[in-house]
Structure 1
Amino acid sequence: MGTGQRQGIVPRRLRLLRAARPAGPDVPDETKPPPARRGGGGAQQSPPGRAEELVPLALRVSAGWSWRLIVTGAAIYILLMVVGRVRIVVIPIIAGLLIAALIHPLAHRFQRLGLPRLGAAFVALFIFFAVLAGAAVAVGFNAANEIPTVSDQVSEGVEQIRGYLTDGPLHLSQTQLDDLVDDIRRNLANNRGRLVSGVISGASVAAEVLTSLLVALFSTFFFLYDGERIWSWIVTRFPDAAEDRVRGAGREAWYTITGYIRGTVFVAAVDAIGIAIGLIGVGVPLVAPLALLTFFGGFVPIIGATVAGVAAVLVTLVSQGVTDALIILGVVLAVQQLEGHVLQPLVMRRAVQLHPLAIVIALSAGGVLAGIPGAIAAVPFVAVVNRVAGYLAATGKRQPP
């Protein structure tokens, strides 16, 4: 092999070695930073990173929870304030949803009988309001017929109270009683302006009530007629991966609402029938209005039954005397015990699943925000939130990583 051939071969080998050398593991890559060394005090860290390591873990965790709770509380507060501002719209819509949940089986049955969806919604809504109007007319006639008797009994009761104040342990004189009556009349005369302003504010409240009734009427009709398509449209606004969970959450919410409203109607009806039987047995007037008050009071948990029972006892005390009032008090307590220990656990446990403290807090918050309608809607709202949150948490744990 000659010298020229060796010179041709050697440069070729050098070129091959130089071409393969940059891919070797020993050749440093100048375009990449050197890897950080693990362990030891020579590891390079930024000042914020070193400061974060100096903070105890418990303090970091508590700080993370704190700012998240503050942000969540602020969001809930803003939401409640917005609801309070537009309660004249929000409360009727919630009422319409509850009414639709109550009469939806009736509309569905009319559809199965062959009526179109529009006709079934109209007929179900008409039957519901016809029943309400019939009950109101019957109670009105009953109250109008018994008002004269009640007036006489109230007068007799007032005379009995006057006699008790003069001849009883207080030993008040007739002059003191007359002075007390004069003071009451004088206060009424001095506060006449406040009474007039109260009447004016009552007129504005009546206008709000009328507006709320119209909104509730339209909401109920459209929930019956087009509720499924409305919910489908809402579900499609979410990402595709979340549509199944949102649809399932809506199904759980609907089951909760329907179970709550049907159970509440059943429990309220039992309470009203029990109180009515007691009033009829004692011979108290105004049985129908008191029974109707008890029925509607059942829609406000804890507070409604108490107010209705107190009203029944007071009417009995004024019209029949102390003995009959004690009997009605016993009937009210018995009915409330039946509701609390038998009906509520059997009927409402599956629908509501709320602790009594949560119910009281929900009632208080709803009453502060929107009065009696807010107290009525607070418990089903909290029950729905609780049920949906449990469903989302359970489905989230079942999802594969």
Structure 2
Amino acid sequence: MGSGLRQGIVPRRLRMLRAARAARLDESGETGSSAAISSAQGAAAIGSDSSPSTAARAEEHIPVSLRVSAGWSWRLIIIGAAVYILLMAIGRVRVVVIPIIAGLLIAALIHPLAHRFQRLGLPRLGAAFAALFVFFAVLAGAAVAVGFNAANEIPTVSDQVSEGVEQIRGYLTNGPFHLSQSQIDDLVDDIRRNLANNRGRLVSGVISGASVAAEVITGLLVALFSTFFFLYDGDRIWDWIVTRFPAGAEDRVRGAGREAWLTITGYIRGTVFVAAVDAFGIAMGLVGVGVPLVAPLALLTFFGGFVPIIGATVAGVAAVLVTLVSGGVTDALIILAVVLAVQQIEGHLLQPLVMRRAVRLHPLAIVIALSAGGVLAGIPGAIAAVPFVAVVNRVAGYLAATGKRPPP
């Protein structure tokens, strides 16, 4: 009986062990199948991710040069639009911007004089006022000298102009044109009639001239105040501007400002020296020939020197025309030779020695800057365009050089 009980218990245990083993086998089979399914799904997902999309396949067919050109194109378009908007904004407020730039240039010119007064014991406020007084005293003296010279010689010039008109009348009558006196009178009457018919335009021109005069007076006042505060408080103004930048960029901003100031001071002092040499040379030629209005023509030549390339040419043409009217063709040719000689000395000797360190610009860049400045703000814009471009060029070079230096 005991052996029979043991025989019944043993098969029962065997059945239980077999059932447990079969359950483990089923679980392992399900786990393996789920792992296989998940691995297959992952492989499918990886395959789907690794397969290129339609846009990627289309991008691969575009040449690299075309993609690079397109990238440069839209970036340059954005930069050009930003520059255009900035220039238009400056053109809108040129009544304020141009006098401030003029005040900065004047301050760069007379800043050493203000420092000299400070060394003599004057306070900062007194030195700024003294430097401004000396500057405007020199300008007033030059204006008075030119006015007296013009007042004394205008009657002589008017007589010479009348003689020139009579000579032209005689040339039209006796020369190759063979015009009769009645035809000349009709021509004069037509000119007078056209002037009478365009009287409204002349009146509007006078009114616009009055508005221009108001703008000039406003600009002079703004330039005067700007010059004074640049002399008196320029250092603190620049410190305030620098502190608006992040702390890590202050050193580079100060260095860029130093380079800009050196460019402005070098440009304005070199321009004054070159313009003075041009005015002196042409004045000596006019005095030697005996041409009237020497002082106004010399002053015109001096101020024309502030507009590179164009200003000297216009002043030389004015001197030649005045000489032609007052002295004849021979004297005009002599003055033309003098003007050409002075311009050659300026272009080949003075500009390379005096201005090259301050203005490192290609002549084409100077012409483009003059054109843009003239279109935006007339003659003042042409005067301010070259130093502005020179400052931008030098500051950009400085920032590019400091950006390439390895960190300490």
Is TM > 0.5 for Structure 1 vs Structure 2? yes
**Partners in 2 of 1:34 and 1:259 — Cα distance?**
71
Aligned equivalent of 1:183, options 180, 183, 190: 190
Cα deviation, 1:10-54, whole Å, max 9, x if unaligned, reads xxxxxxxxxxxxxxxxxxxx9xx989999x998355555454444
**Partners in 1 of 2:63 and 2:125 — Cα distance?**
65
**Partners in 2 of 1:151 and 1:170 — Cα distance?**
26
Match of 1:340 in 2: 347
Aligned equivalent of 2:92, options 78, 85, 91: 85
**Partners in 2 of 1:264 and 1:37 — Cα distance?**
73
Match of 1:109 in 2: 116
**SS at 1:351 equivalent:** coil
Aligned amino acid, residue 376 of structure 1: I
Alignment of 1:88-167 (within 5 A): 88-167=95-174
Match of 1:275 in 2: 282
Structure 1 consecutive aligned stretches of length 4 or more whose deviation exceeds 4 Å: 33-38, 44-51
Match of 1:4 in 2: none
**Partners in 2 of 1:143 and 1:306 — Cα distance?**
22
Aligned amino acid, residue 230 of structure 2: F
**Partners in 2 of 1:294 and 1:134 — Cα distance?**
17
Quote how far apart the aligned CAs of 1:165 are.
Answer: 2.0
- The answer to whether the aligner puts 1:255 opposite 2:290 as a matched pair is no
Cα deviation, 1:313-332, whole Å, max 9, x if unaligned, reads 11111111111111111111
**SS at 1:377 equivalent:** helix
**SS at 1:332 equivalent:** helix
Match of 2:250 in 1: 243
**Aligned CA distance change for structure 1 residues 223 and 330 (closer, same or farther; 3 Å):** same
**SS at 2:358 equivalent:** helix
**SS at 2:212 equivalent:** helix
**Aligned CA distance change for structure 1 residues 100 and 34 (closer, same or farther; 3 Å):** farther
Structure with larger Rg = 2
Q: Give the count of matched residue pairs.
A: 370
* TM-score normalised per structure 1: 0.88
**Partners in 2 of 1:133 and 1:362 — Cα distance?**
31
Quote how far apart the aligned CAs of 1:74 are.
Answer: 0.5
Aligned equivalent of 2:300, options 284, 287, 293: 293
Aligned equivalent of 1:207, options 214, 217, 221: 214
**Partners in 2 of 1:325 and 1:185 — Cα distance?**
30
Match of 1:219 in 2: 226
- The answer to whether the aligner puts 1:370 opposite 2:364 as a matched pair is no
**Aligned CA distance change for structure 1 residues 163 and 104 (closer, same or farther; 3 Å):** same
**Partners in 2 of 1:36 and 1:300 — Cα distance?**
73
Name stretches of at least 5 consecutive residues in structure 2 with no aligned partner. 1-37
**Aligned CA distance change for structure 1 residues 49 and 243 (closer, same or farther; 3 Å):** farther
**Partners in 2 of 1:42 and 1:323 — Cα distance?**
89
Cα deviation, 1:184-240, whole Å, max 9, x if unaligned, reads 111111111111111111111100000000000000001111111111111111111
Cα deviation, 1:87-126, whole Å, max 9, x if unaligned, reads 0000000000000000001001111111111111110011
Aligned amino acid, residue 98 of structure 1: L
Please report the RMSD computed on the Cα atoms of aligned residues, expressed in angstroms. 2.2
Match of 2:34 in 1: none
Match of 2:26 in 1: none
* TM-score normalised per structure 2: 0.87
**SS at 2:122 equivalent:** coil
Aligned amino acid, residue 198 of structure 1: G
**Aligned CA distance change for structure 1 residues 69 and 157 (closer, same or farther; 3 Å):** same
**Partners in 2 of 1:361 and 1:37 — Cα distance?**
60
Name stretches of at least 5 consecutive residues in structure 1 with no aligned partner. 1-29
Quote how far apart the aligned CAs of 1:55 are.
Answer: 3.1
Aligned amino acid, residue 145 of structure 1: N
